[in-house]
Amino acid sequence: MTTTASSKSASSLGPIRISAYLSRLPSLTHTEFSTHWLLSHAPLVVPWALKFNVINYTQTHLNPDIQADFTGTMKMPLLQYDGLGQMSIGGSIEEFAMAFVHPYYREVIAKDEKRFLAVGTDVETEPVATEIKDRGWETGAIMTAGSAVDIIRDGEVKIEVSDAIWEEWRKWDTTAK
């Protein structure tokens, strides 16, 4: 998983937007990956994300058919990932970093990520750069094409999160006591 952020803290341009390019486990189909990420993983993330000042959480499910159409029509390369997760945070990167040491992240979210993500693997980017050069493209821009699903938008949950998940969250969230 690769993450990027626009700046160290929120600026006049707005909140920090963190993008994570995700690769699925090789044992999963794209559909299995996408289904798990949206229907199982996203609800687990919601209470944790809200606790740590995530104001927007968006998943872009990269569809191989859309990508093939885009590449064929636009004649431009696309990143070879299975999904793009984006979070806008209302605080600093330092504050958001604390979310990843929270026991709920380590014991619930991180364990679930191992069920569908190729965690800890870096996707090789050199072939894409070589393809850009070989095809004589003028741009160094690499784009993605897919369908975005808002999980959290403007601090409001946009998907169904079961009572059981909220109850599990309350067990881990020591500040709720």
Q: What is the pLDDT of residues 67-92, one digit of tens each?
A: 888 888 887 777 788 988 888 888 88
Burial 59-93 (b: 16+ CB within 10 A, else e): bbbbbeeebeebeeeeeebbbbbbbbbbbbbbbee
Tokens found for residue 14: 């707005």
Is 89 in contact with 97 (CB distance < 8 Å)?
A: no
Burial 10-31 (b: 16+ CB within 10 A, else e): beeeebbbbbbbbbbbeebeee
| pLDDT, averaged across the chain | 80
* Threshold 0.75, pTM exceeds: no
With tokens 């997760």, the residue in question is 85
Continuous segment of H or E residues that includes residue 96: helix 93-97
Strand, helix or coil at 57? strand
Q: pLDDT tens for residues 4-51?
A: 443 455 555 678 888 888 899 999 999 999 999 999 999 999 999 999
Report which listed range, 37-51, 119-133, 139-153, is most confident. Answer: 37-51
Q: pLDDT tens for residues 94-104?
A: 888 899 999 99
pLDDT at 1: 44
